Amino acid sequence: MTRNSKMKNSIKFYLSLLLASGIFPLYGQSRQSEEEIIPSSRIGEYVNRFNTTDSELTVQMIPNNKTADFMIENVPRFECPDKELEEIYYFRWWTFRKHIKQTPDGYIISEFLPSVPWAGKYNGISCAAMHHFNEGRWLRCAAGYLDSYAGYWLRGGGSVRAYTFPVAHSLYSYYLTSGDDALIKEFLPDLIANFEAWEKEKFDKSRGVFWQNDGNDGMEVSVCGREMSLGYRVTINSCMIAEAKTIAAMAKRFGHPSGDIFEKKAVSLQANMLQTLWDKDAQFFKVIPKKDGAGLCDARELHGYTPWLYNLADEKYAAAWKFMMDSTHFYAPYGPTTVERCHPGFTVSYEGHECQWNGPSWPFSTSVTLTALTNLLNEQQQDYISKKDYFDLLKIFAKSHYLTKEDGTVVPWIDENLNPFTGDWIARTRLKTWENGTWSEAKGGVERGKDYNHSSFCDLVITGLAGIRPSEGNKLTVNPLIPADTWDYFCLEDVVYKGHKLTILYDKSGKKYKRGKGLRIFVDGVLKNKSNKIEKLSIDLGIVEVR
């Protein structure tokens, strides 16, 4: 980044802190009433509970004793009758702040807290960076951290192509919540260069699709990589289609001449992926090994839902979702599983590589799949899967966020991979006795996966469960994925969106929050829309985009 850009981002960062503190109103808008629906003290109570049971092994920018203040100032408040889900919402914000890291070149978001040998500069890893942007964009002080993080990947020496990473799409998703397009305008040339580098490295002109090593998708030891880890995969191809579409949209927005070029790339690549990697008989997206004469792999793997992460597969492909809630395929008590359970290659192994994607449940893939499902439920009409299923899967995801310690206490926990039948954190169980009964330093050291920042959860609550659907312009859709007659109340309060504060609440009786019966949407404390039931609502923010 240029010196002027760094100075601008520093100013934005400190301004965002002032805005978050309440000293000044948000972007010139009138401040929302100081009356809180959910008391801020609730956050402090959760933080104190998490701190009490925590072994603070690695400290970065925000230590435990400063976390309550940070979260109260920056995190949207959430309340619901399911206290397990509510607890994990705050727990994931508590773990996320651990990964905000100050470096000599600015801020980054880490994946592992201890240094691991396969990471890049400052211990950065691009594999889950999309999740970092999706979560981090909801912080009130997001600008200072995420703007710097974008610069790290594109100009600061981060290994942006070490793993499949939709960096353009991630920045655009961040822009949709902030309303400030300065960042995507500044980095457009870098995003174009990054795409072209991917083409040189991983594009197969004869097939018209990209290939990737399953390990560089973050999915080593996969069933469809058992014979050859290189393959034509919907992961990398969905990512690159989304990148091309996003770059095309950015280019047209700013009058860059590459808009039509990238639009054509996206159309061609999407058509080739759908034709090449869709198995009509199995009704699923699959892998083709990168070798002469290879056909589609015989296994359905969870990453086959990735096209919906970017809205790339229409209704005729939606039959793939009938396998999600089927226990002979992906459904499990601590699932979903990374390959269908009926496949001969499915296994939950405590031998060999500690990170296997051939059966265990991975929060990374669960996050991708649930985000994809929110898109399906919002964008398409189909009868294969419902918002009740999303609700149930999110509850399972929350339930998986626990660990029983050696003294028998149960604490909130996020780690690497799960036994889908017992909830045991497999990599942790393996690594703590890896070499002569001690943690292996070569594998990342003590509690490598503790507080692992490799997935999302808060974004799934905000954009899925509570239903805030970021979009261009002033129109906003809110579509909570909560089945009718399930909860009597819920509230998501003080979500900063394009410089405004949003509050979404539902009160069946009207007695819980005393703001009327039913669903309510408030913008800067003003009621904008309402319904007697939980349903899709739209509002007009009536604002000018922040420039």
Number of domains within the chain: 1
Query: 44: how many CB neighbours lie within 10 A of its CB?
Result: 15
Q: Is there a domain that residue 361 lies in?
A: yes
Whole-angstrom distance, CA of residue 360 vs CA of residue 421: 9
Whole-angstrom distance, CA of residue 45 vs CA of residue 72: 11
- Is residue 424 within 8 Å of residue 339, measured between CB atoms? no
pLDDT of residue 23: 36
Instruction: Please give the single-letter amino acid code of residue 350.
Output: Y
Whole-angstrom distance, CA of residue 514 vs CA of residue 504: 14
Q: Is there a domain that residue 128 lies in?
A: no
Mark 53-70 as b/e (b = at least 16 C-beta within 10 Å).
Answer: ebeeebebebebeebbeb
Q: What is the pLDDT along the chain (547 residues), one digit of tens a residue?
A: 554 455 455 545 544 444 444 433 333 333 334 689 999 999 999 999 999 999 999 999 999 999 999 999 999 999 999 999 999 999 999 999 999 999 999 999 999 999 999 999 999 999 999 999 999 999 999 998 999 999 999 999 999 999 999 999 999 999 999 999 999 999 999 999 999 999 999 999 999 999 999 999 999 999 999 888 999 999 999 999 999 999 999 999 999 999 999 999 999 999 999 999 999 999 999 999 999 999 999 999 999 999 999 999 999 999 999 999 999 999 999 999 999 999 999 999 999 999 999 999 999 999 999 999 999 999 999 999 999 999 999 999 999 999 999 999 999 999 999 999 999 999 999 999 987 788 998 899 999 999 999 999 999 999 999 999 999 999 999 999 999 999 999 999 999 999 999 999 999 999 999 999 999 999 999 999 999 999 999 999 975 443 3
Q: What CATH number is attached to the domain comprising 268?
A: 1.50.10.10
Considering only CA atoms, which of 92, 44, 64 is closest in space to residue 414? 92
How big, in percent rounded to 5, are the helix, strand and coil portions of the chain?
Answer: 40, 15, 45
Q: Is the dihedral of CA 211, 217, 220, 222 positive or negative?
A: negative
Write out the E strands in 212-272: 212-213, 230-232
Q: Is there a domain that residue 392 lies in?
A: yes
- Is residue 248 within 8 Å of residue 255, measured between CB atoms? no
pLDDT of residue 145: 96
Whole-angstrom distance, CA of residue 15 vs CA of residue 26: 10
Rounded to a whole number, what is the distance in angstroms from the first to the last CA of the chain? Answer: 19
pLDDT of residue 318: 98
Whole-angstrom distance, CA of residue 165 vs CA of residue 149: 14
Considering only CA atoms, which of 97, 94, 148, 144 is closest in space to residue 122? 148
- Is residue 40 within 8 Å of residue 78, measured between CB atoms? no
DSSP 365-403: HHHHHHHHHHHHHHH---SS--HHHHHHHHHHHHHTSEE
pLDDT of residue 12: 52
Whole-angstrom distance, CA of residue 42 vs CA of residue 374: 28
Q: At 515, phi and psi to the nearest 5?
A: -130, 25
Q: Is there a domain that residue 486 lies in?
A: no
pLDDT of residue 435: 78
- Is residue 176 within 8 Å of residue 496, measured between CB atoms? no
3-state secondary structure 161-193: CCCCCCHHHHHHHHHHHHCCCHHHHHHHHHHHH
pLDDT of residue 255: 96
Q: Is there a domain that residue 405 lies in?
A: no
Tokens of 234: 């919907």
pLDDT of residue 33: 43
Structural domain including 216 reads 205-400
Whole-angstrom distance, CA of residue 329 vs CA of residue 446: 35
- Is residue 462 within 8 Å of residue 495, measured between CB atoms? yes
Considering only CA atoms, which of 335, 364, 317 is closest in space to residue 217? 364
- Is residue 358 within 8 Å of residue 338, measured between CB atoms? yes
Considering only CA atoms, which of 344, 375, 367, 391 is closest in space to residue 477? 375
- Is residue 102 within 8 Å of residue 60, measured between CB atoms? yes
Tokens of 213: 């090593």
| Contacts (Cβ under 8 Å, ≥6 apart) of 178 | 137, 142, 143, 498, 546
Whole-angstrom distance, CA of residue 145 vs CA of residue 375: 27
Q: How far is CA 427 from the centre of its chain?
A: 21
User: Residue 502: helix, strand or coil by DSSP?
Assistant: strand
- Is the pTM above the cut of 0.85? yes
Whole-angstrom distance, CA of residue 153 vs CA of residue 243: 15
Q: Is there a domain that residue 268 lies in?
A: yes
Q: Is there a domain that residue 518 lies in?
A: no
Q: How far is CA 546 from the centre of its chain?
A: 24
Burial class (CB in 10 A: 0-12, 13-18, 19+), 448: buried
Task: Compute the residue count for the chain.
Answer: 547
Whole-angstrom distance, CA of residue 202 vs CA of residue 344: 30
- Is residue 431 within 8 Å of residue 354, measured between CB atoms? yes
Q: Is there a domain that residue 221 lies in?
A: yes
Give 544's DSSP letter: P
